[in-house]
Amino acid sequence: MEKLFETITNEIGLKVEKHIQIKKLFTPKEDVDYKEQLEDALKLIQQGRRILVSWKENYQATRRSIENDHAERWDFPATILSKNNYMNEILENLEKMTDSLKKFLVFLGPDFKRITGDTEAIDNLIKEVKSLVDPFINFSYDVIIRFKLYFLTFL
């Protein structure tokens, strides 16, 4: 049973990771408004988190059911959910970052330019806000590498 749970956790983690690629999410696309791109990224990140949380809840419910149906307690390794929790933590941080960037861009929108009358300074500020994601786009270390390395130990 333990091996089955580990396999399911690994597969879910790999699928979530496959769809949430930081460089792809945050590199500005020429044909898309960056606020819309961030909104799409936010939806994808939230969907990934919902999947991970759903698996955790299902795992815990199944574990309780198995333990309640048997007189003996089954010992499940903590590592099964630690990978899931780690990925959820990374996605939570990405979600906060994406939401903050989106809010900055909304704040610095056309109404703010109209109020201040200094569109050039606001445009420069918008460029600076957009450049805040550059370290994430250019980061050579995969933030989900811990999950990958752990998964490879089972192959």
pLDDT in tens, 47-64: 999 999 999 999 888 888
DSSP class of 74: P
3-state secondary structure 24-42: HHHCCCCCCCHHHHHHHHH
- Residues contacting 50, CB < 8 A, separation 6+: none
Domain residues of the chain, as ranges?
A: 2-99+142-152
pLDDT for 99 = 95
pLDDT for 120 = 93
Element (DSSP H or E) covering residue 11: helix 2-19
pLDDT for 155 = 45
Q: In Å, what is the CA distance from 91 to each residue of 31, 44, 114?
A: 26, 10, 35
Residues of the chain with pLDDT under 70: 71-74, 78, 140-155
